[in-house]
Amino acid sequence: MPADLETTWSLIRRELREEVPDFTFHIWLDPLELAAVRGRKLFVKAPDHIRTWVRERHRDLLLRASRRALGDGAEIEIVADDWAPGEQDDEAAAATPRGEALNPKYTFEQFVIGDGNRLAHAAALAVAEQPAQAYNPLFIYGDPGLGKTHLLQAIGNYVQMYGGGLRVLYATVEDFTAEFVRSLRAGDTSAFRERFREADVLLVDDVQFLADKVRTKEEFFHTFNALYESGRQLVLTSDRPPADHDEFEARLRERFACGLVADIQPPELEVRMAILRKRARLDSLHEVPEETLYEIARAVSASVRALEGALIRVVAYASLRGEKPSPALARKVLETLYPAGRPGRPPSVDEIQSAAAEEFGLSRDSLLAHDRRPAVALARQVAMYLAREMTQETLPAIGRRFGGRNHATVLHAHRKIAADLESDARTRDAVERLRRRLMTTPPL
């Protein structure tokens, strides 16, 4: 790798290391390699067995890390191991549309239907076929990793293909917030409002994160009204139904619920098997036998994301060791991730907080409060450390769950406890007791 590429990639890798737990970095991000830079576009090589997963699950993470390291204009393309740069790449980069971040793999054809998601799928398809006529707004809720984003983007991809030129805009609440803040700092919100209020179909992911953003919440309320009253389609996702969003004003909860509210439940065993078969077929994982897929489906039950992640882990482990992905190997890999008593789901941040508070003889409220007493601070830092190590939550998301603290506070806590584990026996024993307890306690 030329020196300038090596320096660029080192900066990006440093950003990535701060964003994800060690096991995530080593399995999916460490094997990546920066192949070329064309203008502001970075071409990143990924091995065959993880490329699809990196594209679908970690592209946004790579993009954020690249922009923090190199500036806001950076773009990312994930390419094959044998990719070589050529003149056509500059043309492709120039032709790449900006803005609407729809993943072309998120289609209705690739969505596996089961009893737990049948209503949400049918409603999403109806909305895609007849925007603003079937259900408006459509509000889809469920636990993380069950397919809400897949359905949201499937609507967008369908409308872009068959909607006769209707303008689709997909955004997470974090995207919406970031653009709104930039417009306020620039002193001109007209371009922001035109972008969001002129969309024919607006797809907004994770509206629960509006809770602590007062000005953004107000702007979103007016954006919602403008679109709804002009007959445009809105589709929203969240981790819970509108009625459970106590942190929102009644007027916003009412608007969320005025169309169709559809939930998504964890998939049953036969659906999990169908998901794994489809994932293996799409990723050309022909060497994975049916018995191994069954072992994975049996062990991982709560999340489609965790299910697909388990498949990738098993395949990656087998590849690294030069072994076949057998049922016995799958059991060995998955036992470290999903021990007996907690199959298929890591502990939640709430469970980690409650366990840490009990371990240190505190109330959970004191753990979340702005209490700087040494005993409370230590308990809080241990809980933040475990939240980062044992969940898939991002640093900002963890900070929000700890009384609205920022990502830098979580990162500091993680680094401090990681250092204390090497030198402080009391902290090391407490962390290990909590880790064992959280990995063996049945889910709440």
Which pLDDT value is given to residue 97? 34
Q: In the structure, what pLDDT confidence band is assigned to residue 336 with cuts at 50, 70 and 90?
A: low
293: closest CA among 266, 330, 323, 268? Answer: 330
pLDDT at 413 > cutoff 50: yes
Instruction: With respect to residue 342, please indicate whether it lies within any of the assigned structural domains.
Output: no
The 8-class DSSP code of residue 106 comes to: -
pLDDT at 240 > cutoff 60: yes
- Same-domain status, 168 and 295: no
User: What whole-number distance in Å separates Cα of residue 177 and Cα of residue 155?
Assistant: 22
Taking only the tens place, the pLDDT of each residue in 26-72 is: 778 888 888 888 877 888 988 876 777 788 778 888 988 888 877 77
Taking only the tens place, the pLDDT of each residue in 80-120 is: 776 766 534 433 333 333 334 677 778 999 899 998 899 99
- Same-domain status, 167 and 247: yes
Percentage of the residues of the chain whose pLDDT score is greater than 90: 26
- Same-domain status, 332 and 423: no
Which residue, of 263, 290, 322, is where some domain finishes?
263
Taking only the tens place, the pLDDT of each residue in 194-221 is: 989 999 999 999 888 887 778 888 899 9
- Same-domain status, 273 and 256: no
- Same-domain status, 207 and 123: yes
Tokens 């917030």 found at: 177
Count structural domains, the chain: 4
- Same-domain status, 240 and 375: no
pLDDT at 4 > cutoff 70: no
Instruction: With respect to residue 171, please indicate whether it lies within any of the assigned structural domains.
Output: yes
pTM: 0.61
User: What whole-number distance in Å separates Cα of residue 171 and Cα of residue 101?
Assistant: 8
DSSP assignment string, 309-376: HHHHHHHHHHHHHT----HHHHHHHHHHHS-TTSTT-PPPHHHHHHHHHHHTT--HHHHHS----HHH
Which residue, of 295, 312, 337, is where some domain finishes?
337
CATH of the domain at 429: 1.10.1750.10
Taking only the tens place, the pLDDT of each residue in 387-401 is: 888 887 778 888 888
Alpha carbon 13 to chain centroid, angstroms: 19
pLDDT at 127 > cutoff 80: yes
Instruction: With respect to residue 110, please indicate whether it lies within any of the assigned structural domains.
Output: no
Range of the domain at 57: 3-95
Q: Judge contact between 121 and 262, C-beta under 8 A.
A: no
Which pLDDT value is given to residue 337? 61
More confident residue, 140 or 319: 140
DSSP-H helix ranges across 71-189: 88-95, 118-129, 148-162, 173-186
Which residue, of 244, 263, 282, is where some domain finishes?
263
Instruction: With respect to residue 373, please indicate whether it lies within any of the assigned structural domains.
Output: yes
140: closest CA among 113, 163, 114, 121? Answer: 121
Which pLDDT value is given to residue 237? 94
CATH of the domain at 204: 3.40.50.300
